[in-house]
A and B are shown apart, each in its own frame.
Chain A
Amino acid sequence: MSSLMGVRGIVDPTNFSWPREVEGLNGFVTIPAKPERIITASVGHDESVLALVPAERLVAVGAFTKDETFSNIAEFVKDRPEITRDPETIIAQSPDVVVTSPFFTADGIDALTRVGIPVVQTELKHDPEARINNILFIGYILGEEERALQFAMEVRERYESLVGVTSKAAPQPRVLAVTQYSDKLWVAGSNSTEGGVIVAAGGVNAADEAGIEGNQTTSLEGVIAMAPEVIIIPQPVAFGANEFRESLLNNETLAEVPAIKSGRVFVVESKHFTTLSYWNIRGAEDLARMLWPDDFSANPSPAFSLAE
């Protein structure tokens, strides 16, 4: 198990017995025994847990995890009891451990901790190494180190096989991830999930290049100024992605934007681009197929393996 050396959050990578201690963003936490009843409070964490443990151990999920618009594992958790951010709904499911994202409130963690539930708040960074670290860290918390190592290798291999091609492809096109909700245009700049996917797929994030950080609103004029060669729309079709694409292509004001001129405006599977888990690699594979059609098979990438 030497491969767990250097995984952030594991206090003693040589200790594979119980109790074991980990260090989350909320401090040091002791996990007394192998958790059988697991709850997380984010879609991305649910996706990671389901890759590591049999589905029945994930005892309850949030509404977003059950919604196939946002979740890549919706079909596996449809019948699970639903939790909210209200700690009471989580306590009612008697979990052995709760793994949360940095967005979970300190009050919520305090409430769960006070009733004796170990809560580990893990980091959420956008780069693939951080995603792999999270897989290994969560695997250790759940007592599934071997499966975590196996799955981390699967994810790493897919990532390395992708960037092995995309990093050599040239010239790298300037890609803008843009969505429209109501009448506002949103673009994804540096430190955004979509931005990480664009870079992994061999593109240059046009919004990052323009100095935009995170997900910000812009105007049509902003889109013109960023002059992307490819526009991707990581927005659910149910939320008007196709209509938005048509409106961009038919907007005379944008006629000189390279992506509009060449018709390279794509609606992409939003849950591959916005979820905070290894599924972003699937998004990068989707995008790489669009950017480099000669280098990748037109067939969709296979699904990730699930724990048995």
Chain B
Amino acid sequence: MLRVAALSRIEVYRRAGVSVRLVLGGGVLSLLILACALVSLSLGPVGIPVSHVASVILALLGIDGGEFSRTEQLVIEQIRLPRIVVGAAVGMALGVSGATMQGLFRNPMADPGIIGVSAGGAVGAVAAIALGATGLFFLALPTFAFVGAISATFLVYGIAAVGGHFSMATLLLAGVAVNAFLGAIVSAIIILLPDNEALREILFWLAGGLDSRSWEHVRISVPLIFGGAAVITLMARDLNLLTLGDDEARSMGVRVGYMRTVLMTAAALATGAAVAVSGTIAFVGLVTPHILRLVLGPDHRVLIPMSAIGGAIFVVVADTFARTVIQPAEFRVGVLTAFVGAPFFILLLIKNKRQAYSL
């Protein structure tokens, strides 16, 4: 009975207007991300009382609060806060890009990696490590990863647009081929690399992580991620129409080719920036929009902004576990998101399959 009641509440919510869903869903998720960020700020190898955390935050906002030590202030301001901001931005990018790809491909199994952005980022990062470029300048690794991510995306898109006729099916197949090719490049570099330390670095980058993220990483990633997410959010109505099919969308006045290019570019830029600062973090872009679609419905005007916040929550929570579960050592956040995301996704698939058969 309880389950029926809960389901009916979700159904009522899904049928409510866009504004209502945005306000309610956005309100709940915003409170949740704030709470998660505060809890995350309070946890770490250095024990800092919650009251001191609050005082530091108030001081950051220019409000004179309680007492805290200089070390506590620096730990929160220079270590935990930038890491949480980067984590939230990465989750936001993956969530929004996942929802966009699922909409564009009209397939809930799509994720940002489908257009080669993750594999391209991996080739860039692996090349930077293998060539020893990471020591050349501070942000060498994210720069190489970003260039790799964006180049791969344009390669996939270019293949799909060869001959002036764009095809989503070709895009999908080009994505599969380019992903396989880039994966082979990564494998070849790993096999040929004689340096054990570099191999270990590559392995860790591929497992995704937010260790040592600083305000510099915030500065290079957040503008691209917020920019990309904003563009996609503004075009959410057009994305809704694109999910009806190209002909239907065209008949409703959508410039299909243009919209698709802009949406894909925005998603690629956001994901590329995210991959550049975090490595490969699996399942966030796949699972977050999928879960939120079950609750909020498929309307992208709601789904896109909620996926942004949902993705941010997912990554911030996962990273909090990653840096505290074996503290003062660290776990890899990409491994945790896959540990949680994959079984959860399988459960969803089984549940959906059962429901489909019971109809």
A contact set with B: CB distance below 8 Å: 63-64, 181-185, 187, 189, 207, 210, 212, 216-226, 239-240, 252-253, 255-256
Contacts and interface: CB of A to CB of B under 8 A. Distances in A.
Nearest to B323: A219
B351 interface: no
A65 to B, nearest CB: 12
B75 A253 contact: yes
Interface in B92-141: 129, 134-135, 141
Given A182-B141, A218-B328, A221-B328, A256 B71 contact: yes
B329 A221 contact: no
Contacts of A207: 328
A288 B328 CA distance: 26
Interface stretch (B179-187, B196-204, B341-349): B196-204
A285 B200 CA distance: 29
A252 B141 contact: no
Contacts of B200: 181
A253 B327 contact: no
A222 B328 CA distance: 5
B237 to A, nearest CB: 41
A224 B74 CA distance: 11
Residue with the highest number of chain B CB atoms closer than 10 Å, among A183, A217, A220, A256: A183
A252 B201 contact: no
B45 A217 contact: no
26 contacts: A64-B196, A182-B134, A183-B134, A183-B211, A184-B204, A187-B329, A207-B328, A217-B330, A218-B45, A218-B328, A218-B329, A219-B211, A220-B79, A220-B212, A221-B44, A221-B46, A223-B328, A224-B45, A224-B71, A226-B45, A239-B197, A252-B74, A252-B78, A253-B74, A253-B79, A255-B74
Interface in B70-98: 70-71, 74-75, 78-80
Interface in B18-68: 44-47
Interface residues of B, number: 32
Contacts of A210: 328
Contacts of B326: 216
Nearest to B48: A221
B212 A225 contact: no
A210 B326 CA distance: 10
Nearest to A257: B71
Contact of B45 (A64, A221, A240): A221
Q: For chain A, what secondary structure do more than half of its interface residues adopt (helix, strand, loop), or is it mixed?
A: mixed
A267 to B, nearest CB: 15
B330 A256 contact: no
A279 to B, nearest CB: 17
A221 B48 CA distance: 11
Nearest to B78: A253
B201 A256 contact: no
B281 to A, nearest CB: 16
B201 A184 contact: yes
Contacts of B80: 221
Nearest to B74: A253
B315 to A, nearest CB: 17
Nearest to A240: B135
B212 A221 contact: no
A87 B327 CA distance: 40
Nearest to B73: A253
A98 B141 CA distance: 40
A183 B44 CA distance: 19
A216 B330 contact: yes
A181 B329 contact: no
A192 to B, nearest CB: 12
A189 B329 CA distance: 10
Contacts of A225: 44-47, 327-328
A63 B135 CA distance: 23
Contacts of A226: 45, 328
Contacts of A216: 326, 329-330
A116 B255 CA distance: 72
Contacts of B198: 181
Interface string B255-285: 0000000000000000000000000000000
Given A218-B328, A219-B45, A224-B45, 9 more contacts: A184-B209, A184-B211, A185-B211, A185-B212, A187-B328, A210-B328, A216-B326, A253-B71, A253-B74
B45 A222 contact: yes
A219 B201 contact: no
A162 to B, nearest CB: 28
Interface in B154-179: none
A68 to B, nearest CB: 15
A255 B198 CA distance: 30
A184 B212 contact: yes
A181 B141 CA distance: 12
A205 B327 CA distance: 16
Nearest to B69: A256
A35 B198 CA distance: 36
B253 interface: no
A255 B197 CA distance: 28
Closest 6 CB pairs of A and B: A222-B328, A225-B45, A216-B329, A253-B74, A183-B212, A182-B134
A184 B71 CA distance: 21
B81 to A, nearest CB: 12
A189 B75 CA distance: 23
